[in-house]
Amino acid sequence: MHGVRVVELVGIGPGPFAAMLLADLGADVIRVDRPGGNALQLGPAVKDILGRGRPSVAIDLKNPRGVETVLDLVASADILIEGLRPGVTERLGLGPADCHARNPALVYGRMTGWGQDGPLAQTAGHDINYIAVAGALGSIGRAGGPPQVPLNLVGDFAGGSLYLVTGLLAALTHARATGEGQVVDAAITDGTAHLMSMIVAMQQSGGWSDRRGTNMLDTGTPFYDVFETSDGQWMSVGPLEPQFFAAFAQGLGVELPGQYDIARWDELRAAIATAFAGRTRAEWIEVFDGTDACVAPVLSLTEAYEHPHNVARGTYVEHHGLTQPAPAPRFSATPATLTSPPEAAGSSTAEALAAWGIADVDQLIADGVAVQAPSTTSKDHS
């Protein structure tokens, strides 16, 4: 994505993750922060991996000259990302009409939970609320138990960020072919619903029950679940196909009821649980290593950093004193690389604005329209 310029109006969660992904892929992203930083920042900015790969400039968007400065950035940008409540950028003078007046080919990306319209568009919410309304949360959990919250991966980052980036790239292709920009309305509820496509298809064909924990992929089957080992750790089990189940049974070393003898599934689950409880996780890892039994240890994050497969592929890397996920996916001709570390709001205001062609940077800083903060990165705090 070298040569693609992106203006990010800083938000929280899915917006910054989308900007990080574009930066990982080589886009030239400039992050427009609030002077003083984001009040909802989770931990020190210099350790916030979502801020990696792009300089931070601090601009006062309540000042008309600050708004004009952002519009000057927009004039040479390909993409803008904003994650504010619907109508906020319009009130600031940075809405789609304002930006397209300066740059008709701009792809204007909007990241929200509920979308730009609809009865809930103006109400507050978070990932857990969005995936609840989309139907995903109610589908996750064990039979007879409450819905289980899948971190904020399903909504914020899968249903939100990844759909926003997909939309931005599709719209960018159109803009480069026609010179016509457009608005990409990425709602987490929409994206999450789209992620449910396979489950919806199974439900429509009678292969999925609305009763949580009774289906093939939600722990309803005894051979798609997690089981505790003798040392209080866990193993994941997923041999859905008969040949993989046969390898699983062989490794387990006990006689099991038939895989799809549903009347005996309680017996099958008990037999699997009893077997796993007889050895430690390390022992079971050794048993199933190199087999097609579809069995893997359930690792903590710290353990995942050190797993041999992740180490071999460089799935997690050390960069500027921080352990962090490497860019994904992998490219054979244009590999993505990590560049600059996350930094505090406004650390690169003077340098980045000048690099983007803003002429009166020193005066903007002198007048308080833009703020140059002391330069600090994760490397300084490692």
Q: What is the pLDDT of residue 244?
A: 97
CATH value at residue 260: 3.30.1540.10
- Which residues of the chain, if any, have pLDDT below 70? 39-42, 375-382
Who contacts 34 (Cβ-Cβ below 8 Å, separation ≥6)? 10, 58, 60, 61, 345
User: Angle at the Cα of 369 (from 365 to 375), degrees rounded to 5?
Assistant: 50
Q: What is the pLDDT of residue 43?
A: 75
345 lies in a domain? Answer: yes
List the domain range (segments joined by +) for residue 363: 5-194+317-381
119 lies in a domain? Answer: yes
209 lies in a domain? Answer: no
Alpha-carbon span 234 to 227, nearest angstrom = 5
| pTM for this model (two decimals) | 0.94
Is residue 112 within 8 Å of 82, Cβ to Cβ?
no
212 lies in a domain? Answer: no
Which of 264, 289, 308 is the last residue in one of the domains? 308
Which of 288, 308, 328 is the last residue in one of the domains? 308
Percentages of the chain per state (helix, strand, coil), in multiples of 5: 40, 15, 45
Residues 302 and 369 in one domain: no
- Classified as helix, coil or strand, 154 is helix
Q: What is the pLDDT of residue 255?
A: 93
Who contacts 282 (Cβ-Cβ below 8 Å, separation ≥6)? 231
What is the torsion angle, in degrees rounded to the nearest 10, for the CA atoms of residue 213, residue 299, residue 307 and residue 338?
90
208 lies in a domain? Answer: no
Look at the alpha carbons of 321, 326, 331, 332 in this order and tell me if their dihedral is positive or negative.
positive
β pairing state of 316-319 and 322-325: antiparallel
Q: How many domains would you assign to the chain? A: 2
126 is catalytic: yes
Residues 145 and 254 in one domain: no
Which of 255, 283, 308 is the last residue in one of the domains? 308
Phi and psi torsions of 182, nearest 5°: -165, 175
329 lies in a domain? Answer: yes
Q: Return the residue matching tokens 């922060």.
A: 33
Enter the tokens of residue 356: 């983007």
Q: What is the pLDDT of residue 41?
A: 63
Alpha-carbon span 116 to 95, nearest angstrom = 12
Name the residue among 303, 297, 345, 347 with its Cα closest to residue 323.
Answer: 303
Residues 76 and 182 in one domain: yes
Q: What is the pLDDT of residue 37?
A: 81
Q: Give the active site residue among 156, 190, 218, 225.
A: 156
2 is catalytic: no
Residues 75 and 148 in one domain: yes
- Classified as helix, coil or strand, 349 is helix
- Classified as helix, coil or strand, 295 is strand
Peptide bond into 329 cis (omega under 30): yes
CB atoms within 10 A of CB 32: 27
Phi and psi torsions of 10, nearest 5°: -60, 140
Residues 259 and 374 in one domain: no
Residues 324 and 303 in one domain: no
What is the torsion angle, in degrees rounded to the nearest 10, for the CA atoms of residue 53, residue 54, residue 55 and residue 56?
-110
Residues 363 and 231 in one domain: no
Residues 9 and 114 in one domain: yes
Q: What is the pLDDT of residue 381?
A: 43
Q: What is the pLDDT of residue 39?
A: 60
Residues 162 and 258 in one domain: no
Residues 128 and 270 in one domain: no
218 lies in a domain? Answer: no
Residues 302 and 321 in one domain: no
Q: Return the residue matching tokens 């759909």.
A: 163
204 lies in a domain? Answer: no
Give CA separation, 289 vs 3, 294, 306, in Å.
45, 10, 16
CB atoms within 10 A of CB 77: 25
CATH value at residue 323: 3.40.50.10540
Q: Give the active site residue among 126, 174, 307, 381.
A: 126
Residues 300 and 361 in one domain: no
